[in-house]
Structure formats: structure tokens, C-alpha cells
């Protein structure tokens, strides 16, 4: 089946201008053009998903172009593509770890403010989190009981 740039953009959840940018940067080497218009086919989804992932992890355009060039060379570049993917996987894992740290911090803040709102004052929780200055993630006390319960 064939898709216009507008249709494929909608399906992929990206803008047509993103696809035009990919094309202008040489990232869509196998997309056909008919009468000057890009025509996408089912087989293009696999490639577009990879490009979208690369974009979503903030992979530098230079690295994406490198991957595209290597992919076009075929089997002779399997090891190089594998190495590039491993590097990016490591970068993704680092981002995940950083986001998990932020999530824990925000979960603490959620608990902190919810507890303070219920008590009508921060005084019930501020001593718990300000015992000593640290760069460690604040933790919700496991045995914390609200006053009056």
C-alpha cells in the first residue's frame, strides 16, 4: 500500500515537516518519489520507526547519517552498525537511569506535599527531609505515621 507524506506522518505521530527534514538530510534514501512527491510504502515503516527512535533519544544527526550510510553499504558494515547501536543503547540506559532518579525524587516530593497539605503545614514533614544535607534521593519514611492516627 502507498501513503502520502501527510498520511505517513499521521500514522507515525510526527509532522510532515519532520519527514521532509529527514529527506533533506538524506535519511530516507529508499523512499520513492513520483512526480516529485514522496511516496511511502509499507516497507518504509520499519526504517521510519528506527529513525523515530533515534530522534527520540536525541541521537545527534551526524550519528544518524552515519548509520544511514552504513546501512546503505549492506552486510560489509554489520559490525559497525552493531557497535553504533550498542553505543546508543548505553546512552539510552543512562537516560533511563537519570529519569528513574528524577522519578524517585518527584515521588518523594509528591508524598511531601500531599502529607503537608493534609496536615495543613510543612512542619510535619520538613524535619524528616532536612536531617542532614545530602545529594542522595529523599525517601518516604517506611514507618511514617500521620499525627493523630
Neighbour-count burial for 52-71, b at 16+ CB within 10 Å, e otherwise:
eebbeeebeeeebebbbebb
H-helix or E-strand containing 109?
A: helix 78-119
> What are the residues whose beta carbons fall under 8 Å from the beta carbon of 66, sequence distance 6 or more?
84
Asked if 16 contacts 9 with a C-beta cutoff of 8 angstroms, the reply is: yes
What confidence score (pLDDT) does residue 124 get? 84
Which pLDDT does position 140 carry in this prediction?
73
- Is the pTM above the cut of 0.95? no
List the pLDDT tens digit at each of the 149 positions of the chain.
999 999 999 999 999 999 999 999 999 998 998 998 899 999 999 999 999 999 989 899 999 999 999 999 999 999 999 999 999 999 999 999 999 999 999 998 998 899 899 999 998 887 665 555 555 667 777 766 554 44
Residue with cell 511531601: 112
Q: Give the model's pLDDT for residue 36.
A: 86
Q: Which domains does the chain have, with CATH numbers?
A: 1-56 (1.10.1660.10), 59-149 (no CATH)
What's the pLDDT score for residue 2? 92
Q: Which residues are within 8 A (CB) of 115 and not within 5 positions of it... i.e. 6 or more apart?
A: 124, 125, 144, 146
Q: How far apart are CA 85 and CA 69, in angstroms?
A: 14
Amino acid at each position: 500500500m502507498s501513503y502520502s507524506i501527510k498520511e505517513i506522518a499521521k500514522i507515525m505521530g510526527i509532522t510532515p515537516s519532520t519527514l521532509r527534514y529527514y529527506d533533506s538530510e538524506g535519511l530516507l534514501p529508499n523512499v520513492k518519489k513520483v512526480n516529485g512527491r514522496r511516496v511511502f510504502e509499507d516497507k518504509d515503516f520499519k526504517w521510519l520507526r528506527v529513525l523515530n527512535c533515534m530522534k527520540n533519544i536525541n541521537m545527534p544527526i551526524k550519528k544518524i547519517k552515519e548509520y544511514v550510510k552504513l546501512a546503505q553499504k549492506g552486510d560489509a558494515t554489520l559490525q559497525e552498525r552493531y557497535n553504533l547501536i550498542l553505543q546508543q543503547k548505553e546512552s539510552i540506559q543512562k537516560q533511563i537511569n537519570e529519569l528513574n532518579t528524577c522519578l524517585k525524587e518527584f515521588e518523594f516530593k509528591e508524598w511531601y506535599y500531599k502529607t503537608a497539605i493534609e496536615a495543613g503545614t510543612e512542619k510535619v514533614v520538613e524535619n524528616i527531609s532536612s536531617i542532614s544535607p545530602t545529594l542522595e534521593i529523599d525517601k518516604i519514611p517506611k514507618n511514617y505515621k500521620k499525627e493523630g492516627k
